[in-house]
Amino acid sequence: MKISGEAQRRILDAKTRYPSRSSAILPALHILEEDQGYVTEEGMAEIAGLLDMPMSDVGGVASFYSMFMQRPSGTYRLDVCRTLSCALLGSEHLVDYLSEKLGIKVGETTPDGLFTLRTVECLGDCGKAPVMMAGDTYYEDLTPEKLDAILDDLRRKAEA
């Protein structure tokens, strides 16, 4: 799928915003992921074209960072923090709970394409542990009951 005209415009804008063109690669990858849901080969080639940079430079940056998905994921990525402060307050239990409830292992996507379950490192919100990030949102002080409500809510959002 080609990236949208809007995304192209934003990438071209990013190109002018920094002292060097290469600085626009990372912002462009964020734009690409927002547009396509993950960083596609095709999209990276377009970025390379728009920024006049070799494709290898774009690919090299993309593969360095854990936030960029290299393949399609569910509509919602459930990124559960597994680092110490969250772990001390039960994040491993929550991962097991989600895994069982959704019928998928960590790294997998539900058959309906709604949820991808992942574990991530400290999200910088340890005071509200255990914490999970889904989309732009941080979900805090999690319990299994709260997770039930969050999943229902996200399902409803996806239908709307």
Choose among other proteins, ligand FES, none what residue 71 binds, the Cβ cut-off being 5 to 8 Å by kind: none
136 binds other proteins, rule: CB under 8 A: yes
121 lies in the site for other proteins, by CB under 8 A:
yes
Contact 94, 129 (CB under 8 A): no
Q: How far apart are CA 160 and CA 155, in angstroms?
A: 9
Q: Which residue has the tokens 């941080």?
A: 138
Looking up tokens 């393949």 gives 71
CB 92 within 8 Å of CB 129: no
Q: Is 83 in the site for ligand FES (CB under 6 A)?
A: yes
Residue whose tokens read 């097991």: 96
Judged by beta carbon distances under 5 to 8 A according to partner kind, the member of other proteins, ligand FES, none in contact with residue 17 is other proteins
Within residues 100-139, the interface with ligand FES by CB under 6 A covers 122-126, 129, 131
> What is the closest distance, in whole angstroms, from the C-beta atom of residue 94 to ligand FES in the complex?
11
User: In Å, how far from its chain's centre is CA 66?
Assistant: 9
Three-state SS at 115:
strand
Q: Cβ distance 62 to 22 under 8 Å?
A: no
d(CA 128, CA 138): 10
CB of 138 to ligand FES, least distance (A): 9
Among 42, 56, 65, 112, contact with other proteins (rule: CB under 8 A): 65
Count of positions on this chain that bind other proteins (CB under 8 A): 49
> Which residues contact ligand FES by CB under 6 A?
81, 83-86, 122-126, 129, 131
Catalog residues that contact other proteins under the rule CB under 8 A. 17-27, 29-30, 57, 60-61, 64-68, 82-85, 87-90, 92-94, 120-130, 133, 136, 138, 141, 143-144
